[in-house]
Chain A
């Protein structure tokens, strides 16, 4: 393809993609309020479960660190899974707790 047409084609494709994603995001809350409510409930349950696991497993040895980057949350939990012999379920609950 000629470069002259390639760049505008990419720009148009990117614009259409961005508009599509934006339309999907903006339409979600109005299209399915019941589903959103259920999702919030699930998220709250996940938070409660994660908090319970944190209080039971992590607080036995140390206090909660004052926040850390979400980029390392998976690595932190894998380290603690090995160190504290956490179960897979506990690791997943804590991961949701750290990344609500």
Chain B
């Protein structure tokens, strides 16, 4: 997934690789005493294309994720994104230009204090609404492009640097409540940037209804102090492969929402049949400006509507083909974008551990 606003940590590949080596070295020296707790290497590798006005750009991308448990209460995990973007030259110049990007998405340590409290320290994804934390990995999202409002409440970088406390506050058979609260400090480090601010999210989940409702709030505490508000509603009816997910976000200068529905039929031999692997996806989104001042988020500068139509195919062996078309309407311009891609999700032990 390409998130120009969410993962803009500048491409200092050498520094990123140095940090990655350091992370691996730290993990390699740790003691992993439990047979099911071997460090894992996961992530997604994909090849994406994006066509706008007859110009097609190609993006090979890999998003590796490494996670290692250290003892019973500690975990270190990190995700990065490495991509190369090939875009056609304009004018009569033939050929393609290319640019690369390599950067950490997050690098955090998790301390599980008790069943209800986990402390997170380091560079972490901001828990404002849920798209950033849950749907942004390329092997999860149904569309290549994130929603227009994905940048609202994300402090321009999508991650915070500091601490977070989170966990499952109440877990009953009829409902559960979870929470996250973070405090981030200002950092201009190219890999681990952050803005001074705080905020959090509270969600209620009703398992019988398969309904999740949550509210988010955060406040940036540097420059012009601004508040951001968000809410999300997810519904996945029982015994179906239908999902309805939505978010609303409101910032100082603009607001917007998205609603996404996807479905896989089980009527023709189940989800693993040739028909059951087809996944139609639809997303509608709108953004509205609240003033004409320079925005601290990346929302369009005029009111915008967009409809995304997707058709994904879930191949065996954790591979997905993503295709989509969207048309965006705004007073400044209307345009279409076609996107296709193939994504493979991998998940295996980072190195040989003990057999359980």
Contact = CB atoms under 8 A, between A and B. Distances in A.
B68 A76 contact: no
A72 B349 contact: yes
Contacts of B178: 85
B37 interface: yes
B140 A79 contact: no
Nearest to B347: A68
Contacts of B68: 75
A15 interface: no
Contacts of A73: 36
Nearest to B137: A62
B168 interface: yes
Contacts of B318: 65-66
Given A78-B112, A95-B36, A72 B356 contact: no
Contact of A82 (B39, B75, B212, B317): B75
B135 interface: yes
A87 B124 CA distance: 20
B167 interface: yes
A71 B38 contact: yes
B75 A71 contact: no
A33 to B, nearest CB: 27
Contacts of A30: none
A82 B314 CA distance: 27
A86 B134 CA distance: 13
A99 B34 CA distance: 14
A56 interface: yes
A4 interface: no
Contact of A65 (B167, B205, B345): B345
B38 A85 contact: no
Contacts of B166: 82, 85
A49 B156 CA distance: 41
B214 to A, nearest CB: 11
Given A66-B317, A79-B67, A82-B166, A87 B115 contact: yes
A61 B120 contact: no
Interface in B5-39: 34-39
Given A60-B236, A82-B166, A72 B207 contact: no
Q: Size class of B's contact patch?
A: 35 or more
Q: Size class of A's contact patch?
A: 20 to 34
Contacts of A56: 205, 207, 210
Contacts of B347: 65, 68, 72, 76
Contact of B110 (A82, A87, A88, A89): A82
Contact of B234 (A60, A66, A74): A60
B133 interface: yes
B171 interface: yes
A81 interface: yes
B348 A68 contact: yes
Given A61-B134, A90-B171, 15 more contacts: A56-B205, A56-B210, A63-B314, A66-B316, A69-B349, A71-B38, A72-B36, A75-B38, A79-B77, A82-B112, A83-B133, A85-B180, A87-B168, A90-B168, A99-B36
30 contacts: A59-B236, A60-B234, A61-B140, A63-B314, A68-B347, A68-B348, A69-B38, A69-B348, A71-B35, A71-B36, A71-B353, A72-B36, A74-B34, A74-B36, A75-B36, A75-B37, A75-B39, A78-B67, A78-B75, A78-B110, A79-B67, A79-B75, A82-B75, A82-B77, A83-B133, A85-B166, A85-B167, A88-B115, A90-B168, A99-B36
Interface of A: 56, 59-63, 65-66, 68-76, 78-79, 81-90, 95, 99
